[in-house]
Amino acid sequence: MKFKGSFAVLACLVVCLLGICNSSTSVAAQTEAPPTEAPPTGAGDSGDDSAANAGEGQDADKTGPTQDDVDAAAVAGHNGFMLICCALVLFMTAPGLALFYGGLVRKKNVLSVMMQCIFLMGLMTTLWAVYGYSLAFGDGGSLNRYIGGGDYVFMNGVARTWNEQTNSVEEPMADNIPRLTHMLFQGMFFIITPALICGAFAERMKFSTMVMFSILWGTFVYCPLAHWVWGGGLLAFGAEHALAGGALDFAGGIVVHISSGVSALVCAILIGKRLGYGTDDMRPHNLGYTAMGTAMLWVGWFGFNAGSQLGADHLAASAFCATHFAAGTGALGWCLMEWITRGKPSILGAASGVIAGLGCITPASGFVGPMPALLIGALAGVTCYFACSTIKSKFGYDDSLDVFGVHGVGGTLGTILTGVFATRACWDIADGEPLGLLEGGGVLKGQIVATVVTWIFAIVATFVILKVLDLTMGLRVSQEEEVVGLDLSQHGEEGYIFS
């Protein structure tokens, strides 16, 4: 009888597979048929032609919206949408990730992981404003293949300025949104990525070392990767100098999830296991926190993925849908495996499955339709379950909060599956050329190359950073400090005082 529920979940996944087959057939038919409506506007386009022509054909002496009015309204709409997405992505770090991680650790360390999240919101914001955004999205000139330049250092070319000659405001733009908004949105990614890594060394790394690690990792790992993929660097899709034609990464499967997950594995191995790992009771102290954090991350992820379109249009809606669908089947996939192996599903498993599905769909969210998104989420739930149980147990590393198993494995799987399911019906990024394997495209090679390059780069760079920090300031707290807990030993506070 214990398998009755698992059979029901499995039946749902089978129905999803049948739907994918039907969806693929429909898409193929639509691709061959003559277009019946205007083609997609693409990233940041202002809207449909009918709105753009609203002011045409009117007599000069009649009142009505001009083209400038229409353009200004489109910019305002896109900008308003993007500002909301900025807030949603920041919301993912705190309270989302802070609660998710806070519930998974022991109660003597709950404040330490929350402090890491909140402190990184301040630290990484400052670095991003001073030089990070410029390194990621500036023009590196002859070195642009590898790193950005100094265009935006200290917010030059980003903030609004006053032009004395024209006696007017000048506002730098990034397509159809202000450059300032683009900087803010991308900065939220810069915040959450090192915060994700903190889950791997939770309960044992010095706070001071965590600070220095985040500075160095953000500067020498995140910024180059962001530039390689999104700033015209060596992994940028379609760039002349790109390796294997570049990779499709709509919202950060490579830049955020593979980089943080693989780096987290290196951290877990080099810093060593927690005291008492494998013998002491290290169960999560408050799964209620984790459940609430999961719900907040799910909501915030809509800004993360849909916002990566950088505008409020059809593609943002497609990415939103794919994100939601993958999160749902991610939970089902993980719970199915628990039902089969343990006889019952758990809230921890459901929460982990949601995050696995979200991380896996991230690179594909703007390139796949709803039905493939369901399958990608389900595969993420099943695959990440095995990564966090079987693989972790076999190799014996102490990745405290399963950052590698969820984000590293999920991001890798999603990046590869993007090369399988990507379709021009979602985003015609290659001017009519097929994309994914299923529609006869060749982007899979670029996805695999980018994945391998990111793995190697993240492993080597993180290893070097940790070795330097270990030699100069040490990585982990003393045994006494670890036993008493990081809340008291690193911050002089307690998460729970009942008196």
Q: Is the pLDDT of residue 272 over 60?
A: yes
Per-residue pLDDT, 62: 58
As a whole number, mean pLDDT of residues 218-242 equals 97
Query: What pLDDT sits at residue 64?
Result: 81
pLDDT at residue 4 above 80?
A: no
Give 130's DSSP letter: I
**pLDDT value at 131 more than 80:** yes
The residues that bridge with 177 in the sheet, in sequence order, are 174
Q: What is the tens place of the pLDDT at every residue in 450-467? A: 999 999 999 999 999 999
Q: Is the pLDDT of residue 41 over 50?
A: no
pLDDT tens-digit series, residues 281-318: 999 999 999 999 999 999 999 999 999 999 999 999 99
Q: What's residue 324's pLDDT?
A: 98
Confidence at residue 60, expressed as pLDDT on a 0 to 100 scale: 47
pLDDT tops 90 at residue 7: no
The half-sphere exposure of 350 on its side-chain side, counting CA atoms within 13 A, is 14
Residues 412-457 have pLDDT tens digits of 999 999 999 999 999 999 999 999 999 999 999 999 999 999 999 9
Task: Sort 316 into a burial class: Cβ within 10 Å, 0-12 / 13-18 / 19+.
Answer: buried
Q: How far apart are CA 234 and CA 244, in angstroms?
A: 9
pTM over 0.85: yes
Q: Name the least confident of 37-41, 125-129, 347-351, 427-431.
A: 37-41
At residue 68, the pLDDT reads 87
Look-up of token digits 């791997």:
200
Average pLDDT over residues 133-137: 98
Spatial distance between the Cα atoms of 225 and 458, rounded to a whole number of angstroms: 9
* 378 has a pLDDT exceeding 90: yes
CATH of 4-27+77-486, one of 1.10.10.10, 3.20.190.10, 3.30.420.40, 1.10.3430.10: 1.10.3430.10
Name the helix (H) or strand (E) containing 174: strand 173-174
Query: CB atoms < 10 A from the CB of 342, how many?
Result: 12
Rounded to whole angstroms, the Cα distance separating 446 from 245 reads 6
Q: What mean pLDDT do residues 136-162 have?
A: 96
Count of helix runs (H) and strand runs (E) in the chain: 20, 4
Dist CA 198 CA 121 (whole Å): 13
Answer yes or no: is pLDDT of 212 > 70.
Answer: yes
Q: How high is the mean pLDDT of the chain?
A: 91
Confidence of residue 63 (pLDDT cuts 50, 70, 90): confident
Asked if residue 34 has pLDDT above 50, the reply is no
Burial class, 355, CB count within 10 angstroms (exposed 0-12 / middle 13-18 / buried 19+): buried
pLDDT at 46 over 80: no
Write down the domain spans for the chain: 4-27+77-486
Cα 43 to chain centroid, rounded: 18
First-to-last alpha carbon distance for the chain, in angstroms, is 46
Confidence band for 333, pLDDT divided at 50, 70 and 90: very high
- Asked if residue 356 lies in contact with residue 413, where contact means CB atoms within 8 angstroms, the answer is no
- Does 95 sit behind a cis peptide bond, omega within 30 degrees of 0 on the bond before it? yes
Residue 43 has what pLDDT? 38
What confidence category does residue 10 fall into, taking pLDDT thresholds of 50, 70 and 90?
Answer: low
High-pLDDT (> 70) share of the chain, %: 88
